[in-house]
Structure 1
Amino acid sequence: MANIFSSIFIFLFYVLTLVNALEQQQQPINSTTTATCNFTACNSQRLSCSSNVDCDCFSLTSNPNIGICASTICSCASVVRCNVDNVTCSIEGTICVNSTRCGQPICYPLALANKQICPPKIVTTTTLHTTTAAHVTSTTKSTTKDATTTEKATTKPTTTVHFVNTTNQSSTAARWFYTGNMTNAREYHTASLLSNGKVLVSGGFGYTGYLHSAELYDPSSGTWTTTGNMNNTRQFHTASVLSNGKVLVTGGFGYTGALNSTELYDPSTGTWTTTSNMNNARYYHTASILSNGKILVTGGYNNGSYFKSTELYDPSTGIWTATGNMNKERTFHTASVLSNGQVLVTGGGRGGFNGALNSTELYDPSTGTWTTTGNMTNAREYHTASVLSNGKVLVTGGIDNNGNVLKSAELYNPSAGTWTTTGNMTDARYIHTASVLSNGKILVTGGTANGYLSSTELYDPSTGTWAATGNMNKERTFHTASVLLNGKVLVTGGNGNTGIINSAELY
């Protein structure tokens, strides 16, 4: 269905482009056929505007409070930017909407915001209409008498249907929903968003031990299907989506111990093939996709050794080569690709509470060397790092040298090379996830502190503050979180109060 929508979208778009290239005023909306939505309500309460999960609410640039409920199964490369006024479009039958995924206002064909494609979701509520008793007196002049009538109003319940494009919605509307269960319960696994919109989950640890199984989540149906097994069982590995659409899995730990093996998943065939080995067997490491398409692996652990070594994978040759060493051995650290192409590594340590680092360093792909940059305010490991839309890096939570679980967060400014503290999270947590949403906010989920957490919260970069959002249905740590093409967040597996988890849920 998603492929059909995408093909229709591209076909209609280019037809409309040829029909009229003259500038026009903002296209009026025909509410009879066009699916509309209240963007403010949908965005603040994370409500779906349609029963079709592939539809979402796009706010109008002319009035950001309202929008069209339209299909999200389209490529940003298939649309054009709105005119310079950010209100009008030069293509007949399109309307200018805000698109955080495309990073600019785009002209969207109204034909694909049709109620047949995106039928409005409705909720039924019972409203009690109450009126106070009133005396209604009418006086009529007559040759015979004056007539006075007294009438008492009644009170009765009526049923009212509200479309989600009204603002009459509960402020406590559920934000998390279960979706299909994975075939295998798993933790210490990876999850990768493929170019076709599906999510590939691989490896980890389950009730049968180390896993080499992999499975695919289809957002259009909310179901999981098994795909080809990896050649090695592995947990604590990494998975990176290459520019050719394949997925590179590196290292980890399995039945044979620490692994230097790597392998590639081909979505077109659903199979795995081995590629060349890394120079070092390692787990608890990081893998980053550089702007030149190569993969940078850093640090990690193996058999009592903590690594400062790093290496590069070249997809065009399938070969690994050593590159410059970091200044510190690191495991349970983070690695973030900055907008200037450099890689920022933060914290981590030697796996013990007395080994956490506050130091950070930068890798320059053009020279293959590492240089130290500003220290974080807090030493931390088992934390998260997220690159914000303004280019800064947000670090959250983790554990410090004294074994304290942190709720603190701080920001790295690449232009200054310095760290500044920002608002604290509501809950201290480590081994959690952090996801950059399409609206620029950061969603933090789960983790552990004095126990497993189901709580989630949002960071707003514009205010530097955190706000609690709905709890997940399960407490989770060692889970994954993936931002889907439709803007929703898929959380999978992990460990909680009931043990290893096979369930998945959507935010």
Structure 2
Amino acid sequence: MTSVLAADPTAPPYAVAVTWAGQHDAAVLLEGGKKALLAGGADEAFAGVKHSAVFDFDTGKWSDPLPLGTARQSHALTPLAGGKALITGGISAAGGAALATAELYDPAEGKWLPVEKPMKAGRWGHSAVALSNGKVLVAGGSTLRPGGKAMALRSAELFDPDAMTWETAGDMTDARTGHVAVVLSGGKKVLVCGGSVPVGTGDDPALAFCEIYDSTAAAGTNPWTPAATMRFPRSGHTATALSDTTVLVTGGKAPGVTAEGAFDPFARDTTEIFELTGTTGAWRDAEPMPGGRAFHRAVAVGGGRVVVTGGADDVTNEAGYRSVLRYEAGAWKPVAPGLAEGRWGFAAVASGSTVLVVGGIARTGLAAAAQKAELTATAEKFGSGS
């Protein structure tokens, strides 16, 4: 059965055409649930941008520009209490050094403010999530090793928004970049899953390894614990909380020979569910999507439902997908008519059951008129179907 999108699939375009390829938190919902913040990203030359703006779901309009102090892409964006947000790390240009700086968005000031003290390590492709104690856990990512090649990081650190200070948070078991972090247990624990490890060849192997951070771990002990391993290694995937103890993981780019001996040359259609049980948790298979996709977005819309939008295959990435799916009661349903413009590496966020998608890469290679990345500034807002 095909679901139907609500009748308002349009929203005013973003001020700049930008992509957030390589990161999972391009847009965040601010406290109150009615406004979304977007910041940074990369232009067609894959240089970082300073543009930032807030979208109001009630009015359907964008705020005036809220420029960052530093252009950055492959950063992490984290919503905080009081409608504030933290942006950390990233790079300013493709191949550039990892940024250790951070900025704080303050709605009372109506602008981004520099965080005086830098992170203990510059990083891009990392995760950054807010815990129930108010602190932000920053983990993993990439930096440049001597000689200029990228390497993954094991290190993690905590930001205290009240004191505006950083402290170490132990080392993960595995170095990783491009992973996903999901907050569980009322903000006390974090599941980190998948990602990849640069090996110097440009073909970075994906990880199936996962681990759990416990903010209540006793002082002097490592708060990181290896978790159960996913059935498939994944990068370019999504991980979305279905509840305070369950996570749905979808897709990803890691092609190769499957456990059954079949070859997946494009992107994964497989999905898995993590259950936070015992010390390590457990994974179980979920119903596959109708087709594989990577670099897509998945947002929770309440009631254990998840909406998956866009994406591309892993071999060519030539055209972004228009397809929209809804996961509900253990099954996938296509949602018609899909996106007006296919895209991957874009921003997506939900306010209740209303989903906003912004920007991204529409076409590359032979699918693009100039055979280079064609970015879009279009935005689409729609109900998640019924």
- TM-score (normalizing by structure 2): 0.82
Distance 2:67 2:49 in 1: 9
Higher relative contact order structure (alpha carbons within 8 Å, sequence separation ≥ 6): 2
| 1:204 partner SS | coil
Distance 2:112 2:204 in 1: 40
1:339 deviation in Å? Answer: 2.0
Q: Deviations over 1:294-313 (max 9, x none)?
A: 10011100112210111100
Q: Which residue of the other structure, out of 335, 360, 375, is the alignment partner of 1:500?
A: 375
Residue 393 (structure 1) aligns with: 247
Residue 125 (structure 1) aligns with: none
Residue 343 (structure 2) aligns with: 476
After superposition, residues 321-360 of structure 1 pair within 5 angstroms as: 321-339=167-185, 341-351=188-198, 353=203, 355-360=205-210
The alignment status of 1:198 with 2:35, answered yes or no, reads yes
Q: Which residue of the other structure, out of 252, 267, 274, is the alignment partner of 1:405?
A: 267
The alignment status of 1:306 with 2:306, answered yes or no, reads no
Distance 1:228 1:186, change over 3 A: same
Distance 2:343 2:57 in 1: 21
Distance 1:412 1:207 in 2: 36
Residue 12 (structure 1) aligns with: none
Residue 467 (structure 1) aligns with: 333
Residue 285 (structure 1) aligns with: 126
Q: Which residue of the other structure, out of 433, 437, 441, is the alignment partner of 2:305?
A: 441
Deviates more, 1:286-295 or 1:450-459: 450-459
Residue 69 (structure 2) aligns with: 231
**Matched AA of 1:246:** K
**Matched AA of 1:501:** T
- Say whether the 8 Å CA contact 2:266–2:292 is kept in structure 1: no
**Matched AA of 1:203:** G
Distance 2:31 2:245 in 1: 24
- Say whether the 8 Å CA contact 1:494–1:501 is kept in structure 2: yes
Unmatched 5+ stretches in structure 1: 1-43, 48-173
The alignment status of 1:270 with 2:107, answered yes or no, reads no
Residue 259 (structure 2) aligns with: none
- Say whether the 8 Å CA contact 1:227–1:271 is kept in structure 2: no
1:46 deviation in Å? Answer: 4.4
| 2:64 partner SS | strand
Q: Deviations over 1:185-231 (max 9, x none)?
A: 11118222223522221111124742112122222332223233111
- Say whether the 8 Å CA contact 1:286–1:298 is kept in structure 2: yes
Residue 251 (structure 1) aligns with: 89
Q: Which residue of the other structure, out of 375, 381, 394, is the alignment partner of 2:235?
A: 381
Distance 1:266 1:454, change over 3 A: same
| 1:437 partner SS | strand
| 1:244 partner SS | helix
Distance 1:406 1:207, change over 3 A: closer
| 2:206 partner SS | coil
Distance 2:311 2:327 in 1: 16
Q: Deviations over 1:127-183 (max 9, x none)?
A: xxxxxxxxxxxxxxxxxxxxxxxxxxxxxxxxxxxxxxxxxxxxxxx6x61210111
1:491 deviation in Å? Answer: 0.5
- Say whether the 8 Å CA contact 2:358–2:380 is kept in structure 1: yes
Residue 320 (structure 2) aligns with: 452
Q: Deviations over 1:392-433 (max 9, x none)?
A: 111100022636510000011111511110100012011111
Distance 2:156 2:255 in 1: 25
Q: In proportion to residue count, which structure has more strand?
A: 2
Distance 1:390 1:338, change over 3 A: closer
- Taking only aligned residues, the RMSD between alpha carbons, in angstroms, comes to 2.0
Q: Which residue of the other structure, out of 201, 211, 230, is the alignment partner of 2:49?
A: 211
- TM-score (normalizing by structure 1): 0.63
1:354 deviation in Å? Answer: 5.4
Residue 17 (structure 2) aligns with: 185
- Say whether the 8 Å CA contact 1:353–1:401 is kept in structure 2: no
Distance 1:455 1:46, change over 3 A: closer
- Say whether the 8 Å CA contact 1:399–1:430 is kept in structure 2: yes
Q: Which residue of the other structure, out of 352, 361, 371, is the alignment partner of 2:211?
A: 361
Distance 1:46 1:401 in 2: 31
Residue 420 (structure 1) aligns with: 284
1:267 deviation in Å? Answer: 1.2
Distance 1:360 1:291 in 2: 21
**Matched AA of 2:159:** Y
Distance 2:305 2:5 in 1: 13
1:265 deviation in Å? Answer: 0.9
Distance 1:355 1:228 in 2: 37
Distance 1:379 1:207, change over 3 A: closer
**Matched AA of 1:441:** R
Deviates more, 1:353-362 or 1:302-311: 353-362
| 1:205 partner SS | coil
Q: Which has the larger radius of gyration?
A: 1
The percent of aligned pairs where both chains have the same amino acid is 33
Unmatched 5+ stretches in structure 2: 145-149, 257-264, 369-373
